[in-house]
Each structure stands twice: as structure tokens, then as C-alpha cells.
Amino acid sequence: MDYPLIGACQCGQVTYELHDKPLMVFACHCTECQKLSTSPFSITAVVDTAKIEFSGQLKSWERVAESGNRNCAMFCPNCGNKICHFNPDAPETVKLKLKPVDLSSADIFEPQAHVWVSEKLDWYHIPDDVKVFPKQPG
């Protein structure tokens, strides 16, 4: 795979360059991610902050997770696409929400685990060979 991988929001105002593969990719089935993605789950790629560069204007929104951790969401103010989120108290990683523009590299965003399956929609079936966690793994 050739790096950097380039990604963008729907309108193209926000872009990123990813300089290395994600540390982890997971599908989250919590009700907050169902709202975010307007689908049964949301895909998140955990990325080393030093390995990604963002360009463009971003807006933010913050909430407190069930764990007590702060969850700061960054999104494009034009098209509304969520770009990433992060915990301000753990700045070494960012949780990327956008896949790359080049679909030939999209396989690096295949989930390695499914989390918050306690809130999973009954009709979605998780593949047998993937790790599952009832809530957020420790």
C-alpha cells in the first residue's frame, strides 16, 4: 500500500493524509454511533496522531461517554460529515471516521472487532471470525 492515503469529506473542504496504517479498526454498535452513521454501526479507525494530517476548517462538538471519557467530535461545517473524534485527555490517538478517497486502499478499514454489541440491532449478523465485545473493551 502506498502512503499517504488521501481522504475527504463529502464537499471536499476537509481533507486528510494518512501516513501509516491504523492501529486498530472497529465497528461500534452503540446507539450514539447508530445516530452518527444513520446505520446499524459506525466504523472507526484508531490512528496515531503523529501519522495523520488534516486540512480545512473544522467545527467541534463534545460529549461525555459512559466511561466518563470526553469525546470531542470534529466535523466539516459545510457538509456536516464527521471527520474524527478524540479524547482530549488522550491526545496520542485520533479516531478517524472517513475512509480514503481511493477505494483500492479501503480494505485497511475492515473492522478487526465489533464493540458495544449489547446495543446491536438484532437483524445485523456479525461475521463469525471477528472479535466481539459487549461494551467498550478495557
pLDDT at 16: 94
Backbone angles phi, psi at 60, to 5 degrees: -130, 160
Query: pLDDT confidence of 63, banded at 50, 70, 90?
Result: confident
51 occurs within a structural domain = yes
Q: pTM, whole model, 2 decimals?
A: 0.84
Angle, alpha carbons 73-69-111 (nearest 5°): 65
Question: How many domains are contained in the chain?
Answer: 1
135 occurs within a structural domain = no
Confidence check: pLDDT of 15 > 90: yes
96 occurs within a structural domain = yes
Helix, strand, coil percent values for the chain (each to nearest 5): 15, 35, 50
* % of the chain residues with pLDDT over 90: 51
Looking up residue 120, the CATH number of its domain turns out to be 2.170.150.70
Summarised one tens digit per residue, pLDDT across range 64-123 is 877 777 889 999 999 999 999 999 888 899 999 877 667 667 788 889 999 999 999 999
Q: Shortest CA distance to 5 belongs to which of 16, 46, 45?
A: 16
Confidence check: pLDDT of 13 > 90: yes
Cα–Cα distance between 62 and 80 in angstroms, integer? Answer: 15
- The residue segments making up the domain with residue 27 are 5-101+108-124
Identify the residue whose cell numbers are 474524527: 84
The β-bridge partners of 64 are 70
Confidence check: pLDDT of 45 > 90: yes
